[in-house]
Amino acid sequence: MKIDTLAVHAGSEPDPETGALTRPIHLSTTFERGVDGSYPKGYIYTRSGNPTREALESCLRQLEGAAAAAAFSSGSAATASVFQSLAAGDHVIAPRDVYHGTAGLLRDVFARWSLESTFVDMTDLAEVRDAIQPSTRLIWIETPSNPLLKVTDIGGVSAIAHQAGALCVSDNTWATPVLQRPLELGADLTVHATTKYLGGHGDVLGGAVLARVEDDFFGRVRRVQTAYGAVPSPFDCWLVLRGVQTLALRMRAHSENAAQVAAYLSDHLSVDAVHYPGLPDHAGHDLAARQMSGFGGMLSFQLKGGRNSAMKVAAKVKVFTRATSLGGTESLIEHRASIEGPGTQTPQNLLRLSVGIEDASDLIDDLAQALAD
Ligand SMILES: *Cc1c(COP(=O)(O)O)cnc(C)c1O
């Protein structure tokens, strides 16, 4: 089935009890046992299994073309569950420009539990190969990357990982299964912040881990999910399920608008550089054109005048909202270096845009007035 159809129907079958087309939200934390002490419906307690969460996991599994899915209360909890499924002394290779929360988990949390990590330029396959150690168990990729939209070769890195006996995990939050299919390109697992495009309306925090095969490693992720209990509430699962119904439509609208905004900014005299994989002169354009079916709604640009010019533009926008995060219907603008804080590699003159689904001409007019002296 095509992704547009799956997005509408996966996990949203009519309720078998009542025929309701809109899924009920099963708030119950506990489930009745049979007279013989068994669990006739298969549910025991909501931390270990809940019908609304199962509907979401089924939906995400089908969208990503995965064998198994585990839903979490945030993208970061999903990410942490993958690291928690490794062992002390294992080595992880991650991109130098990985989502700063993921870098923080590796550096501040898991390093204390003896998980080793090396950060590399993931777009340089030779550098990835050189970083392999006998203890390397996992290579983490995130493409397109944040905030420079660098594009990583998912098939290339997966091959390097597999040669080394390691797993390749792809954070597919920015592209979504609509635009990019990491499991079909060779990745073993994908991770999502459903907080972003899957939820799609900026009103729910969530995450997921999806696996190409339901193996022992995924079993450990599942064990972490139910043992730690960083699970999404039934209402949060329902919100993500509702958001997903329009995912394919929204991703097309985000991509079309972002392409127009990127083209506009590229021609602007006050703009030094635009980072969008849809632009033919972007370093990752050819690779993105091969491994993505659209270039997505995220882009960033650098102002000629340095940090002050960037802050001035962010201060003047009226349709864009100054806020972090991404993937909602509304357009956001963010001075990324200041949220990442001290030690950030992000240029001070850079603004990141999460291009929403408004009319592109209104977005361009807004940027035009903000960029005007
Ligand atoms: C937001 C984000 C995360 C973390 O998700 P949370 O739901 O905020 O914990 C991880 N990876 C990427 C690429 C993200 O954009």
Q: List pLDDT tens digits, range 12-58.
A: 889 988 999 998 999 999 999 999 999 999 999 999 999 999 999 99
Give the C-alpha separation, 89 to 253, whole Å: 45
Q: Is 196 a catalytic residue?
A: yes
The pLDDT score that the predictor gives to residue 44 is 97
Which residues does a 6 A CB cutoff place in the pocket of ligand 1? 74-76, 99, 101, 142, 146, 171, 173-174, 193, 195-196, 205, 207
Burial class (CB in 10 A: 0-12, 13-18, 19+), 216: exposed
Q: Please name the residues in contact with 87: beta carbons below 8 A apart, sequence gap of 6 or more.
A: 137
**The pLDDT of residue 167:** 98
Q: Is the pLDDT of residue 344 over 90?
A: no
Q: Whose CA is nearest to atom 8 of ligand 1?
A: 75
Is residue 117 within 8 Å of residue 107, measured between CB atoms? yes
Cβ atoms within 10 Å, residue 111:
12
- Residue 345 has what pLDDT? 86
Q: Is the pLDDT of residue 6 over 90?
A: yes
| Phi/psi of residue 140, nearest 5 degrees | -100, 125
Q: Which two tokens stand for residue 62?
A: 């089908």
Peptide bond into 40 cis (omega under 30): no
CB count in 10 Å sphere of residue 134 = 7
Average pLDDT over the chain reads 97
- 76, 100 Cβ separation under 8 angstroms: no
Distance (Å) from CA 74 to ligand 1 centroid:
7
Of the candidates 126, 122, 132, the residue with the CA atom closest to the CA atom of residue 164: 132
- The angle subtended at Cα 125 by Cα 326 and Cα 60, nearest 5°, is 40
Q: Which residue lies with its CA nearest to atom 15 of ligand 1?
A: 173
What is the model's pLDDT at position 341? 84
Quickly name the fold that domain 3-244 has.
Aspartate Aminotransferase; domain 2 (3.40.640)
Its pTM stands at: 0.97
Secondary structure (3-state) at 232: coil
Q: Please count the CA atoms within 13 angstroms of the CA of 63 that sit on its side-chain side.
A: 36
Candidate of 72, 73, 74, 76 to mutate for ligand 1, largest count of ligand atoms within 8 Å of Cβ: 76
Looking at ligand 1, which atom is closest to the CA of residue 74?
7
**Mean pLDDT value across residues 179-203:** 98
Q: Nearest 5°: CA angle at 149, between 143 and 154?
A: 25
Mark whether 90 is an active-site residue. no
pLDDT confidence of residue 343: 82
137 catalytic per annotation: no
Pocket test for ligand 1, best of 173, 192, 332 (most atoms within 8 A of CB): 173
Architecture of domain 248-371: Alpha-Beta Complex (3.90)
Of all residues in the chain, what percent carry a pLDDT higher than 70? 100
Span 210-222, average pLDDT: 98
Kind and range of the H or E element at 141?
A: strand 136-142
The domains of the chain are located at 3-244, 248-371
342 pLDDT tier (thresholds 50, 70, 90): confident
Please tell me the predicted confidence (pLDDT) of residue 373. 77
Does residue 11 surpass a pLDDT of 90?
no
47 in catalytic set: yes
DSSP secondary structure string, 333-365?
Answer: EEEHHHHH-TT--S-TTEEEEE--SS-HHHHHH
Q: What is the DSSP-derived secondary structure letter of residue 106?
A: I
pLDDT over 90 for what percent of the chain? 95
Q: How far is the CA of 105 from the centre of ligand 1 (A)?
A: 12
Structure tokens at 370: 């903000």
Integer angstrom CA distances of residue 254 from 23, 34, 121: 27, 50, 27
Q: Where are the alpha helices (DSSP H) in the chain?
A: 3-9, 51-64, 75-84, 100-104, 125-130, 154-163, 176-179, 182-185, 216-228, 234-244, 247-266, 285-291, 307-316, 336-340, 360-371
Token reading at 106:
């590796």
Q: Which two tokens stand for residue 104?
A: 């923080």
Q: What is the mean pLDDT of residues 280-304?
A: 98
Q: pLDDT at position 293, please?
A: 98
CA of 102 to the centre of ligand 1 (A): 8
pLDDT of residue 12: 86
Lowest-confidence pick of 5-19, 93-107, 110-124, 294-308: 5-19
User: Of 62, 53, 328, nearest to 177 (Cα)?
Assistant: 62
* Cβ-based neighbour number of residue 20 at 10 Å: 10
How many whole angstroms from 76 Cα to the centroid of ligand 1?
6
Task: Give me ligand 1 centre to Cα 106, in Å.
Answer: 14
- Cα distances from 222 to residues 91, 225, 226, 227, 231, in angstroms, run 21, 5, 6, 8, 11
Identified catalytic residue from 171, 188, 236, 366 = 171
Q: Taking 90 as the threshold, does the pLDDT of residue 163 lie above it?
A: yes
Q: How many angstroms is it from 176 CA to the middle of ligand 1?
A: 12
* Cβ atoms 71, 215 nearer than 8 A: no
Give the atom of ligand 1 at the shortest distance from the alpha carbon of 79.
Answer: 10
Per-residue pLDDT reduced to its tens digit, 110-120: 999 999 999 99
SS3 of 257-301: HHHHHHHHHHCCCCEEEEECCCCCCCCCHHHHHHHECCCCCEEEE
